[in-house]
Amino acid sequence: MAYQNTSPVVNTSGKTRLLESLERARDRQGPSLGQWLALPGHALAKIVAPLGQDWVLVDCEHGHIDDHNRYLQISAISSSGVSPVVRIPAGEPWMVKRALDAGAHAIMVPMCETKEQAMQIVESAKYPSKSYPNGFRGTGAMFAPAAFNLTGRDYLINANSNVMIFVQIESRKGVENVEEIAKVDGIDMLFIGPNDRARAL
């Protein structure tokens, strides 16, 4: 599908800057660079975002960032041409929904321990479709398309392939089930949480 509205945050093929950078890293053509933001504030996000990286992660698990600040920071980051990633506090479907409806290009979900948890995370992040018949993300407010520089229609058509899902492996149980978690369709990345993982040993 051809995109008429393009920007540094979404290229002409509709890929986010995050997705494009991860594909570049996978192909050994350069790193995917980002920063971790744990403090609230639209102005702070606006300062951090254009410093030469591909993504900024808004940490809503351990960071001091509420719904209001998350929305403002996502807007500031995406309007700077950088992909906003949100680490949500837990894998609850309503938390997934709030982050994606605010315009996150990806979510990071802590403490994923089983294949079943991974499947529920994917289903809560995907609109129902042929590829994801069990997806149950609801169509809500049109804040998200603005963060992708897309119309509402184009966002809905492409969200299932453009929004990324990262899960954290942080516990002994997660390590034991990591291969099954990795096989779940829709999980794009496994992130090893070194601090909690070390404490679990």
Among the listed residues 32, 28, 78, the one whose alpha carbon sits nearest the alpha carbon of residue 53: 32
**Residues 33-53: b if buried by 16+ CB within 10 A, e if exposed:** ebbebeebbbeebbebbeeeb
Rounded-to-integer distance, Cα 139 and Cα 126, Å = 10
Rounded-to-integer distance, Cα 90 and Cα 100, Å = 14
Of 42, 62, 64, 68, catalytic: 62
* Burial (0-12, 13-18, 19+ Cβ within 10 Å), 28: exposed
Q: Identify the H or E element spanning 166.
A: strand 164-169
Q: Is 68 a catalytic residue?
A: no
Catalytic residues: 62
